[in-house]
Amino acid sequence: MRPRHLRRRGALAVAATALAVLCAGQTLAAPQAVAAPAPAATPQVRTSPASEVQAAEDTAARAIAAALTDPAWRARVRQAALTSHEVAVTALADGALRTTLASADRRIAAAKGLGPGVGPLLRLRLGDPSMRGALTAGTEPWVAAATSDDGPVTAYDSEGRTHTLDARETPARPVYVVDLDGSRALAAGLDVLHEELARRGVRSAAPASVDPKRARTSAAAAGVWTTRISAVSLSDDEEPWIKGDAEIYTLVTGFGHDGKVRVDPVDMPYLDSDGTVYRPQQILVNWSSYKYDLADAVMMEDDGSTNYRDLAKAIAAILLTVTDQGTYIPLVNAVLDAIPDDWWTDDPDYVDSWYTLARTDNGTRHGARDNGWMTLEPYFVQEL
């Protein structure tokens, strides 16, 4: 599932300055001299996280395809793909292939701004359940990296040949798709986002943390008021077979008790498929963290290539310019304007947003883009 995403542009002109730190440098050509010139240093060109992740996944796909000439490896992968939704392919491999995949894992983690402790992220899955019959019957599978757009899919066979597939038409031949463990990457990424925002001066709670004993409470009521999601659903948009489940998270924003903007990331790992109603009973807003009884929510999707340190840097640069004027100011546009323009392709994706959520909200709220809805209810978390 991948919801369609249209960026809503705001009016914060300061975004241009904040985003300059994220732009890639330009390589300037030196004029040709008559005499032999001294060697000139070449400025380092910064590649985007999306291209780095895609290149690493493509390297892994080619290596896995080439290894399928080994009957033992071919049988091992087939068995794993038929019995599991996702296969931890780096752990499944051995020898030179494992070395190649481990290197690709490290490259991906670095591109996403994650530490080496995140563990292997590469996963392998069968492109579509309809391919199970042909794979079981012994049809030679091809291998493709999960794409971040709806363009043609490049698949590799065991001889190193390339094959172009239609992303919108599921092929009859079985295709192994090399993708990421999105749940693991997102959980680690939100931790990085929280830590980096705090380091840059934007208050932020750790994802999914509600601790009544540490929260500000009144003497009459030992606990905290929260807003809980009793049901949530996103619209259906018929995304391609090559893409896997969505990795959804929400940035809850508002003003803390010190009058400064805060951002609290909320992981929503259950939101895999659009057109499905989920009933998570998940806490979305911890009101003890906020000065006003109003907050905003921006729902995003990680398509695999988000660099969470860069995301935190961009958001902090914008939100730190927003000051408390003694009345609540919606922050949705500020968050969206903080995200670099080149990320509004397929990474990270804007799903929907909810303006001025109130502590007393009790019912269904549709997003501003009408791409999703949430049924919310006040929920008191009692201190033990």
**CB-count exposure of residue 32 (10 Å: 0-12, 13-18, 19+):** exposed
**CA dihedral (351, 353, 358, 360) positive or negative:** negative
Give pLDDT tens digits along the chain (384 positions): 444 443 333 433 333 333 333 333 333 333 333 334 444 444 444 567 778 889 999 999 999 999 999 999 999 999 999 999 999 999 999 999 999 999 999 999 999 999 878 989 999 999 999 999 999 999 999 999 997 666 789 999 999 999 999 988 999 999 999 999 989 999 999 999 999 999 998 988 877 555 444 444 444 458 899 999 999 999 865 567 888 777 899 999 999 999 999 999 999 999 988 889 999 999 999 999 999 999 999 998 887 778 888 889 888 988 888 888 888 888 998 888 877 665 555 445 788 999 999 999 999 999 999 999 999 999 999 887
Backbone φ and ψ for 219, nearest 5 degrees, come out as: -70, -30
Q: Helix or strand or coil: residue 157?
A: coil
Q: Strand 223-234: give its sheet, edge to edge.
A: 282-286, 223-234, 372-382, 363-366
